[in-house]
Amino acid sequence: MVGQDDADVRAITFPVEHVETPDCSVGVIVPYSAGGGKPVTRVKFFLCGSYPRKIDMRASQFFIATLKEAPSDAEVVSHKLMTRAGMIRKLAGGIYTYMPIGLRVIRKIEAIIREEMNRAGGIELLMPLIQPAELWQETGRWDKMGPEMLRVKDRHDRDFIIQPTSEEVVTDIARGEIHSYRQLPKNFYHIQTKFRDERRPRFGVMRGREFTMKDAYSFDRDEAAAEKSYQAMYAAYVRIFERLGLKFRAVRADTGAIGGSLSHEFQVIADTGEDLLVYCPDSDYAANIELAEALPPAAVRPAPTFAMEKVATPDTIRCEDVARLIGLPLEATVKSIVLATDTPLGPEVWLLLVRGDHELNEVKAGKLPGLDGGFRFASEPEIIEHFGCPPGYLGPLNTKKPVKVVADRTVANMADFVSGANEIGFHVKGLNWGRDLPEPDLVADIRNVVEGDPSPDGKGVLAIQRGIEVGHVFFLGTKYSAAMNCTYLDEAGKPQPMVMGCYGIGVTRLVGAAIEQNHDAKGIIWPDAIAPFTLVICPVGWGKSEAVRDTANRLYTELTAAGIDAILDDRDERPGVMFADWELIGVPHRLTIGDRGLKDGMVEYQHRSDPEATKVPLDEIVSLLRGKACA
RNA sequence: CGGGGCGUAGCGCAGCCCGGUAGCGCGCUUGCUUUGGGAGCAAGAUGUCGGGGGUUCGAAUCCCUCCGCCCCGACCA
């Protein structure tokens, strides 16, 4: 047993066996008595193998660096709390040092991810941070990635990048090492520093430039096998986020720049999230708003009832104001958005129409034929050239030059609507497709869904909530294997491209997301699984009471031996300081020991989310905490 | 990238308009007192006022320039 009471001891030896577990984490075998039954031996996982746990964890020997006030550049609560709790310190925009408290949380998250990745068949390796340009040129992403990818040169003036992701390198490994269908499937992963030179880093570690990501890549012989790998990763992700103690939702997602055909995001539910999640409470439909389909209106377009009429709307630009001025509902107006594409023949101008109360979905627009090669918002000169009028009074009626008109499904179904008259200070009302102007060139779903829209699966109506994207799984197909000639030989001895999937988890972003979801006015409230410490022992009167000191030391030793990740606050701070610090840091379980209770043989237990402490007899506290704080 | 704002002690800020001794709170150091919810008193330490250039007898303050940071950015808000 650990058996040491002396506060001055710095390095207690821990006479238990370190074992190499099947998934390569290092654990220690600890005696464990489950519910008072016969003692059993079980492996208690502390932290990952590369992070030896300091067994004697006393606050005076550790590093607690809390702040009363957050730096003024911190905007969101997780950034403020992480800084105040001493988890991170900013070095440059979007670049942070992970301080000791913060690193412990990261290591715990990594340990859980490793366990579940290994359980799901993943094989850990570690690919370099710096990668040669050649591989990226091979897939074409050297040119496609843009300034988000940090490029560096070595002393010979050769191009390198600091990796934002590792598809190229892992595919290079696979094509070099895997030659036979017998070697498939394989899933390689690593947990590595990434660098993405974000246009606007913000929100602390939530959108940093340098961050830690777990990225995994699966290689299979065919689509069916690859889909199994995808499902295995999906299931592993569900387990990971459940173990982390977070409320999350898996949603269908756009495949974006990475490419591929099937994709889910794992979103931590938080009102401060940047993403909008669409889900159906009556079914299992869930998607990112980028992807969620707005179904065509069920009804047939009504017949025109009014004559078209031009109305003066001086200085009235926004649909809301136009509707109010004319005295019609906002739903009767149509919003005009002008896009441009740059073709070899020069710019082409597009007019996209959504209902006044709807919003354009740029991801959907970007998939339209003609816009799928990339688009931009048209410049004001381009707008005037084509519409004969500056922004604010634009519409599909009588454009000066022909433009390609794309109407949202809802707009295509409208009658007697309002839009700009392409004349400064005027709109038109009573406008009707077919009668007053030709049918749109294209009718498509180009808007964001709104709450109450019918669910695409036909099983109810949609609801919307905010989330933080912490994980993303992609079915890649052969996009990279084809580009890089990554093949294996099948039974017939024929080369076949490997079918790939890729799977990411933002480790450092998870830290921020967990805080966004779990905090109060005093600070962070960690889920047990990722708390920097599971339990803090707060002795009141450490410096003056031998009884307090002895009891604290003894309980610390016993609880640690029981496998509880505890820290003993021996700093001899005043209680207010001590409590405020640990509440800010967010340690979920607190044991308070003071002369006041000790004289009655009592100590106090309080969970971070409890309103107040509970008195517990001294001889019951260890078994109580074993039940509560021993994950 | 465009627009706006800000850089003064470890953190939060004042001083700048109107040029003249660099300040406040928290934190830090020392001592005494205090000791169950961020203690009190006393005495201290800490600054290239973001960098460079200019104007001036004199610049945190006025001018130029560079850098850094923050916020905002649809014909949404």
Burial A401-436 (b: 16+ CB within 10 A, else e): eebbbbbbbbbbbbbbbbbbbbbeebbbbbbbbeee
What whole-number distance in Å separates Cα of residue A337 and Cα of residue A377? 8
pLDDT at A43: 39
What's the rounded Cα separation, in Å, for the pair A405 and A403?
6
Residues of A from 406 to 465 whose C-beta is within 7 A of strand B: which are they? Answer: none
Residue A219: closest CA among A502, A519, A513, A564: A502
**Using the CB atom, is residue A394 less than 7 Å from strand B?**
yes
From residue A166, alpha-carbon distances to A148, A159, A254 in Å are 15, 17, 20
List the A92 CA – B52 C1' distance (angstroms): 22
Asked whether residue A604's C-beta has any atom of DNA/RNA strand B within 7 A, the reply is yes
Is residue A450 one of the residues assigned to a domain? no
CA of A557 to C1' of B56 (A): 70
- In this complex, the answer to whether residue A522 has its CB under 7 A from any atom of chain B, a nucleic strand, is yes
Query: Cβ-count burial of A25 within 10 angstroms (0-12 exposed, 13-18 middle, 19+ buried)?
Result: buried
* A 45-64: CB within 7 Å of strand B: none
Total Cβ atoms within 10 A of residue A76: 18
CA→C1' distance for A592 and B34 (Å): 21
Query: What share of chain A in percent tops pLDDT 70?
Result: 90
The answer to whether position A67 is within a domain reads no
Distance of A571 CA from B29 C1′ (whole Å): 18
**Is the separation of the CB atoms in A605 and A625 below 8 Å?**
yes
Beta strands, E only, A512-628: 519-520, 523-524, 535-540, 566-568, 589-594, 602-607, 614-617
Within a domain: A113: yes
Return all residues near A77 (Cβ < 8 A) that are at least 6 apart. Answer: A272, A515, A516, A519
Whether residue A540 is found in the same domain as residue A511: no
Are A474 and A253 in contact by the 8 Å Cβ rule? The answer is no
Supply the CATH number for residue A419's domain. Answer: 3.90.960.10
Residues A553 and A619 placed together within one structural domain of the fold: yes
**Lookup: nucleotide whose C1' is closest to A379 CA:** B75
CA of A112 to C1' of B28 (A): 39
Q: Find out whether A464 and A267 touch, Cβ atoms under 8 Å.
A: no
- In the predicted model, what is the mean pLDDT of residues A106-131? 96
For A222, half-sphere exposure in the C-beta direction (CA atoms, 13 angstrom radius) is: 3
Q: Which pair of structure tokens corresponds to residue A398? A: 């009588």
Nucleotide B13: closest residue by CA–C1': A72
- pLDDT number for residue A259: 54
A550 CA vs B30 C1’ separation (Å)? 30
**Phi, psi at residue A65, to the nearest 5°?**
-135, 75
Which nucleotides of strand B come closer than 7 angstroms to any CB of the protein?
Answer: 1, 11-13, 25-27, 34-39, 68-77
| Domain final position from A515, A543, A575 | A515
* Same domain? A183 vs A227: yes
Predicted ipTM?
0.91
- Separation between the CA of A380 and the C1’ of B2 (whole angstroms): 14
Task: Dump pLDDT digits (tens) for A405-456.
Answer: 999 999 999 999 999 998 888 899 999 999 999 999 999 999 999 999 999 9
Question: Look-up: residue for tokens 């004969």?
Answer: A388
A48 and A118 belong to one structural domain: no
Given A515, A544, A578, which residue is the final one in a domain?
A515
Other Cβ atoms within 10 Å of A302 Cβ, number:
11
**DSSP assignment, residue A439?**
P
What is the residue range of A254's domain? 88-293+463-515
A393 plus A285 within the same structural domain: no
Nucleotide nearest to A384 (CA to C1'): B75
Q: State the Cα–Cα distance between residues A549 and A545, nearest whole angstrom.
A: 6
d(CA A272, CA A594): 40
Q: Is the CB of A10 under 7 A from strand B?
A: no
Please name the nucleotide lying closest to A447, CA to C1': B76
| Residues A263 and A233 both lie in one domain | yes
Beta strand A95-98 with A88-92 is antiparallel
Residues 68-87 of A with CB under 7 A from strand B: 68-73, 75, 84
Q: What's the CA–C1' distance between A467 and B3, in Å?
A: 29
Which of A91-95, A131-135, A352-356, A454-458 has the weakest average pLDDT? A91-95
Q: Is the CB of A594 under 7 A from strand B?
A: yes
CATH of the domain at A560: 3.40.50.800
Q: How far apart are CA A200 and CA A197, in angstroms?
A: 8
Please indicate, yes or no, whether residues A271 and A166 belong to a single structural domain of this protein.
yes
> What's residue A55's pLDDT?
63
Which of A215, A209, A206, A211 has its CA nearest to residue A193?
A: A211
Give the DSSP letter of residue A433: B
Whether CB of A382 is under 7 Å from strand B: the answer is yes
Tell me how far apart the alpha carbons of residues A549 and A525 are, in angstroms, rounded to a whole number. Answer: 27
Which CATH number is A148's domain given?
A: 3.30.930.10
**Interface residues 190-249 of A with strand B (CB < 7 Å):** 199-203
Whether residue A6 is contained in a domain is answered as no
Give the whole-angstrom CA distance, residue A582 versus residue A147: 41
Mean pLDDT of the region A161-171 = 94
Top-ranked range on mean pLDDT: pick from A54-63, A305-314, A391-400, A543-552: A543-552
* pLDDT, average across residues A120-136: 95
Instruction: Identify whether A456 is preceded by a cis peptide bond (ω within 30 of 0).
Output: no
Q: Compute how many other C-beta atoms are within 10 angstroms of the C-beta atom of residue A261.
A: 11
Say if residue A250 is in the same domain as residue A288.
yes
Residues with Cβ within 8 Å of A383's Cβ and at least 6 positions away in sequence, in order, are A338, A349, A389, A390, A391, A394
- For Cα atoms A509, A512, A514, give the angle at the middle one, nearest 5 degrees: 105
As a 3-state breakdown, chain A gives helix, strand, coil percent values, each rounded to 5, of: 30, 30, 40
Q: Which nucleotide is nearest to A199 (CA to C1')?
A: B1
Return the closest nucleotide (C1') to the Cα of A362. B74
Inter-CA distances, A323 with A49, A188, A317, A418, Å: 64, 57, 10, 8
* Tokens at A487, concatenated: 């093949």
The number of helices, as runs of H, and strands, as runs of E, in chain A is 16, 34
Q: How far is CA A360 from CA A364, A391, A532, in A?
A: 8, 16, 43
Of all nucleotides, the one whose C1′ comes closest to residue A209's CA is B69
Number of folded domains that form chain A:
3
The CA-atom distances, in angstroms, between A520 and each of A527, A586, A608, A616 are 13, 10, 10, 26
Distance of alpha carbon A165 from alpha carbon A171, whole angstroms: 12
Residues A483 and A423 in one domain: no
Q: Could you report the per-residue pLDDT of A573-631, keeping only the tens digit for each?
A: 999 999 999 999 999 999 999 999 999 999 999 999 999 999 999 999 999 999 998 75
Is there a domain that residue A69 lies in? Answer: no
Q: Which nt sits closest to A613, CA to C1'?
A: B36
Cα–Cα distance, A599 to A285 (Å, whole number): 59
Residues 6+ apart with CB under 8 A from A134: none
Which residues neighbour A111 within 8 Å (Cβ) at sequence distance 6 or greater? A25, A45, A47, A48
Domain limit, last residue, from A410, A444, A478? A444
User: How far apart are the two ends of chain A, measured CA to CA in Å?
Assistant: 20
Query: Same structural domain for residues A191 and A165?
Result: yes
pLDDT number for residue A10: 31
Same domain, A356 and A211: no
pLDDT (tens digit, 9 = 90+) per residue, A26-67? 344 444 333 333 333 333 444 433 344 556 899 999 999 999
Same domain, A289 and A313: no
* 3-state secondary structure (DSSP) of residue A496: strand
Model pLDDT for residues A238-285, shown as the tens digit of each residue: 999 999 999 999 998 877 655 556 899 999 999 888 889 999 999 999
DSSP string, A145-189: SGGGSEEEE-TT--EEEE-S--HHHHHHHHHHH--BGGG--EEEE
